[in-house]
Structure 1
Amino acid sequence: MITTSVAEAASCLKKGQVLAYPTEAVWGLGCDPYNEQAFLEILRLKQRPIEKGVILLAANVAQVEHLLQGLTEDMRQQVIATWTNRKPNERATTWLLPAGDHIPTWIKGNHPKVAVRVTTHSLCVALCQAFNGFIVSTSANPAGLTPARSLQEANQYFSNELNYLNGDLGLSKEPSKIIDAETGEIIRA
């Protein structure tokens, strides 16, 4: 299915289906992070090992507030500022946050932390709001291949094996940088 309806796309996620959708810089694959079968389907499509973990994408800080609890107030404010003060053409920032017991092990992979990004991409914001929570966000490509930058490229990779929310990419030229919130270590520059 290819749709431009955010409600229809969110319904696919709620039904345990995989969805391809445009993000700030590349197309992503998403699902309900609490649905293990849907998540394993993403791994199958991407030919990606479970040990690597994936990013969670949220519409706003409130959706991930429980994951910010383990940070100092200064670090919490720094994380939130990168999410909320980003210009449309500026590269997004994903933060590694303490996962606690809130996040399924399959999302974290072999890591004690979880990668989280609050987006300003209007279609992604609307999708997370319609889903009523954060979603999985991993690049739409089989492992080792270039991430899709259009519906046509995503469809060439995955054909009719999943659903597509058609829309425009954001203005960023690169996928998000990834930083460990507790140590400041840059994981992906």
Structure 2
Amino acid sequence: MGADFNDELQKCFEVLKQGGLILYPTDTVWGIGCDATNPEAVQKVYALKNREDSKALICLVANQAMLERHIKEVPEVAYDIIDLATKPTTIVFDEPIGVAQNLVAEDNTLAIRVASDKFCQYLINKFRKPIVSTSANISGEPTPKRFKDIGPEILKGVDYVVNLPDENKDPSPSSIIKLGNDGQVKVIRE
């Protein structure tokens, strides 16, 4: 790890701790992030993106143990999906626990992804809590694939922009799969 990498981790950690917003590279596209357990921070994300609370945001965790701390009961099939997925895959789970209430969808579900990106994993491990990840665009506008495509209002609206290069060769949003506690599996976005 270069000094830059550790420096960026520390800066993000400080901002997240204070309830601020970061703009950071994820295993998919660049994301706007915040402390997923802090309702005021989550509200800032909705305000910046100009979207209403009922549009759920994705939450990133560092590993399966952290996932288990925030979902009442992880269905067995989730582990297969996480292990077998060939691209970043977000899973919508029933009955999340210990996250900001305004992050939870009206049907009491939460979209969570185990981050595969090194920076995300290190950051979430250091922070020891899930962080929000939502595409760096105003609601309704196209998702920026590269850092250079991110609009000025987003860059100005976050408290810290990570200064690391685009590493992702082919960035695209994650697949989304909904898992019900009743065993139902539904693909929402391929």
TM-score range, shorter chain: 0.7 to 0.9
Superposition map of 1:1-189 within 5 A: 5-67=8-70, 70-73=73-76, 75-82=77-84, 90-154=86-150, 156-162=152-158, 163-167=160-164, 168-182=166-180, 183-189=184-190
Amino acid at match of 2:162: L
CA distance change for structure 1 residues 104 and 35 in 2, over 3 Å: closer, same or farther? closer
In the TM superposition, residue 69 of structure 1 has moved relative to its aligned partner by 5.1
2:71–2:97 Cα contact (<8 Å) kept: no
Q: Which runs of 5+ in 2 are unaligned?
A: none
In 1, Cα distance between equivalents of 2:10 and 2:64: 21
In 1, Cα distance between equivalents of 2:104 and 2:72: 18
TM-score in terms of structure 2 length: 0.84
1:16–1:37 Cα contact (<8 Å) kept: yes
Amino acid at match of 1:160: K
3-state SS, counterpart of residue 46 of structure 2:
helix
2:75–2:179 Cα contact (<8 Å) kept: no
CA distance change for structure 1 residues 169 and 146 in 2, over 3 Å: closer, same or farther? farther
What RMSD, in angstroms, separates the aligned Cα atoms of the two structures? 2.1
TM-score in terms of structure 1 length: 0.85
Amino acid at match of 1:179: I
2:23–2:32 Cα contact (<8 Å) kept: yes
Per-residue Cα deviation, 1:52-96 (whole angstroms, up to 9, x for no partner): 1111101111111134552443x14313314xxx5xxx4211001
Amino acid at match of 1:79: I
Structure with more contact order per residue of length (Cα contacts < 8 Å, sep ≥ 6): 1
In the TM superposition, residue 17 of structure 1 has moved relative to its aligned partner by 0.2
CA distance change for structure 1 residues 161 and 71 in 2, over 3 Å: closer, same or farther? closer
2:37–2:98 Cα contact (<8 Å) kept: no
Percent of residue pairs identical: 28
Q: Which runs of 5+ in 1 are unaligned?
A: none
